[in-house]
Amino acid sequence: MITIIAKVQSREGKESEMLAALEKMVAAVSTNEPEVSKYELHQDVENPTIFYFYEQYDNDEALKSHGVSEHMKQLGTDLKGVAGARPEITRVTWIAGIDR
């Protein structure tokens, strides 16, 4: 299992446009990427310009395919003029937790 946390930020005042583009991405991943186990979108409570994806991929190939997918390319186009910073992508290793 591969886990990614991606932080994306909109320009101030562009939060709703960012949200629409990111929700479109979630729908595309859900429809087109069966080896993505989890793809969750979150918004920062204190700074609504910041969004986070929590992503889990079954294997390296699924992660690579995601990165070159047509919907990823479309997201790049959709975020022109909306994004306030480059995305921050962090790959993490699970250590411990609960799942209820």
pLDDT at position 70:
97
pLDDT at position 48:
97
Q: Where are the alpha helices (DSSP H) in the chain?
A: 15-32, 60-67, 70-78
Average pLDDT, the chain: 96
Q: Determine the angle formed by the axes of helices 70-78 and 15-32, rounding to 10 degrees.
A: 180
> Does the domain formed by 2-92 have CATH 3.30.70.100?
yes
Report the predicted TM-score, pTM, of the whole model to 2 decimal places. Answer: 0.93
Q: Are strands 50-57 and 88-92 parallel, antiparallel or unpaired?
A: unpaired
Contact between residue 4 and residue 63 where contact means Cβ atoms under 8 Å apart? yes
pLDDT at 9 over 90: yes
pLDDT at 83 over 90: yes
In the chain, where the domains are located: 2-92
Q: How confident is the model at residue 99 (pLDDT cuts 50, 70, 90)?
A: confident
Tens-place pLDDT, residues 15-60: 999 999 999 999 999 999 999 999 999 999 999 999 999 999 999 9
Give the span between the Cα atoms of 42 and 49, in whole angstroms.
11
Give the span between the Cα atoms of 79 and 51, in whole angstroms.
13
- Strand-pair partners of 36: 57
